Amino acid sequence: MVESSDLIAYGLIPEFVGRFPILVSLSALNEDQLVQVLTEPKNSLAKQYKKMFSMNNVKLHFTGSALRLIAKKAMAKNTGARGLRAILENILTEAMFEIPDIRVENDTINAVLVDEEAVGSVDAPGCGAKILHDDDAFNQLLHEKKSGDPMGVGVTESEFLEGELQVQSEAIRL
């Protein structure tokens, strides 16, 4: 616990330290806590962005591994929960500006996916959120990621349905 004498030893003058009735020490948030900040509060960042995208009739989806990678990036930058918004802005900016402009007759955006590739690595930026133009694009993209089998070629129908259920459970829909 931090005491007044610790602050004075650090270099603060006693008159200034005396004005603090309560001293509290804080510790950095871990990865699980940052993911909770992203998803659980009533006005979490993920829910705010989902609401913003839904105003344009677009579904926003985050994979669980993407949320963990976003948390890792915030930890690496040592920005804590405050850094989460900046990371999400970098990932979603292009999609946020492109969605209102693509309201042409046959070309509409139905979903936006944030996965590991969209986030990138801890040290490097990703490609940004993936914009999906038709109803089946989201399910197909997640199926490809899960099975490594584009278009479901070489997969039986029961394997495809089982894999699709697993993929849908992986996507966190807030």
User: Per residue in 127-169, pLDDT tens?
Assistant: 999 988 776 666 676 666 666 654 444 444 444 444 444 444 4
Q: How confident is the model at residue 23 (pLDDT cuts 50, 70, 90)?
A: confident
- Res. 55: pLDDT tops 70: yes
- Res. 38: pLDDT tops 80: yes
Q: How confident is the model at residue 61 (pLDDT cuts 50, 70, 90)?
A: very high
Interhelix angle 45-54/82-101, nearest 10 degrees: 10
The pLDDT assigned to 22 comes to: 86
- The SS3 call for residue 131 is strand
Q: Using alpha carbons, select from 164, 68, 51 the residue that is nearest to residue 114.
A: 68
Domain spanning 29-172, CATH architecture = Orthogonal Bundle (1.10)
- In the chain, the amino acid numbered 26 is L
Tell me the C-alpha distance between 174 and 28, whole Å. 26
Encoded tokens for 31 = 């990865």
The structural domains of the chain, with segments of one domain joined by +, span 29-172
User: Per residue in 64-112, pLDDT tens?
Assistant: 999 999 999 999 999 889 999 999 999 999 999 888 777 655 667 788 9
Look up the pTM and report it: 0.71
Instruction: Tell me the chain's radius of gyration from C-alpha atoms.
Output: 22
